[in-house]
Amino acid sequence: MSTISGVGQTANAATGTATTGSKGMKIEDFLKIMIQELQQQDPFEPMSSKDLVNQVGQIQNIQSTMSLSETLENLSLNQSLSAASSMIGKVVVGLDGSANEVSGVVTAVKVEDRKVHLELDSGQRLSMDNVIQVNGQTATGETA
């Protein structure tokens, strides 16, 4: 009978999927293996209660890690959105997708694919991740 020994758990924030071990096994894969193991176990040597409790504990740890990861991702998104909103009306400088420097007055903030983007008066879009400078003056020249 095969066993699944201790697995390290990590959460991938970029994708929001929990993985186990260094090879990136998804929780769905882990559950499939566990179910397959239960179906294939020798009836004369069933899995001990201790092993089953350990595996259930591992699943609960993975679920907790996934939940925590999702909560932290939402918190980070909300913080980025709040910071971006405070830039409306201000002049920003950043890098576009081709690493060219762009600047303009922030006219709107949008969230797309869980990423915060600034809409500039020039019609360009700038990712919050690529902002390199926020000027302390508004578009009208007043100090913010």
Q: What pLDDT digit, counting tens, does each position of 65-124 carry? A: 988 999 999 999 999 999 999 999 999 999 988 889 999 999 999 999 999 999 999 999
CB contact at 8 A, 77 and 114: yes
- Can you give the pTM of this predicted structure? 0.56
Residue 81 is encoded by which pair of tokens?
A: 């959105």
Looking at the chain, the domain(s) classified CATH 2.30.30.30 span 86-138
Place of tokens 């993985």: 19
Helices vs strands, H then E, count in the chain = 2, 8
Report how far residue 84's alpha carbon sits from residue 107's, in angstroms, rounded to the nearest whole number. 11
pLDDT of 27 reads 72
Q: What pLDDT digit, counting tens, does each position of 10-66 carry? A: 334 444 444 444 445 677 777 788 788 778 877 777 777 788 788 888 888 888 898
CATH architecture of 86-138: Roll (2.30)
